[in-house]
Amino acid sequence: MDESIVGTGRLEAFSDGVFAIAVTLLVLNIKVPLLSETANGAKLLAALRGQWPTYLAYVTSFLTILIMWVNHHTIFRLVRRSDNTLFLLNGLLLLCITFVPFPTSLLAEYIGHQGEHIAAAVYTGTLTVLAIVFNLLWYYAVSRRQLLRPDINLALMKRFTQVYALGPALYLLAFVLAFVHVGASIAVCVVLGVTFALPITPGAILQRGARE
Query: For residues 133-192, which are near a copy of itself according to CB under 8 A?
Result: none
Phi–psi pair at 6, nearest 5 degrees: -130, 170
Binding residues with a copy of itself: total (CB under 8 A): 80
Kind and range of the H or E element at 104? Answer: helix 101-110
Kind and range of the H or E element at 49? Answer: helix 41-50
In whole angstroms, give the CA distance from residue 132 to residue 209: 30
Judge contact between 162 and 155, C-beta under 8 A: no
Which SS3 state, helix, strand or coil, does residue 82 take?
A: strand
Q: Which of 60, 105, 124, 126 binds a copy of itself (CB under 8 A)?
A: 105
In whole angstroms, give the CA distance from residue 115 to residue 106: 10
Pick the piece of the chain touching a copy of itself (CB under 8 A) from 102-110, 129-137, 140-148, 167-175. Answer: 102-110
Minimum distance from CB of 110 to a copy of itself (Å)?
Answer: 7
Closer by beta carbon to a copy of itself, 59 or else 169: 59
String of DSSP letters for 154-209: HHHHHHHHHHHHHHHHHHHHHHHHHTT-HHHHHHHHHHHHHHHHS---HHHHBSSP
Closer by beta carbon to a copy of itself, 8 or else 174: 8
Minimum distance from CB of 131 to a copy of itself (Å)?
Answer: 19
Closer by beta carbon to a copy of itself, 33 or else 169: 33
Closer by beta carbon to a copy of itself, 12 or else 164: 12
Minimum distance from CB of 204 to a copy of itself (Å)?
Answer: 4
Q: Which of 24, 146, 158, 181 binds a copy of itself (CB under 8 A)?
A: 24
Pick the piece of the chain touching a copy of itself (CB under 8 A) from 9-17, 139-147, 165-173, 180-188. Answer: 9-17
Spatial CA neighbour of 117 closest among 74, 50, 177, 60:
177
Q: Which of residues 54-93 bind a copy of itself (CB under 8 A)?
A: 58-59, 62, 66, 69-70, 73, 77, 84, 87-88, 91
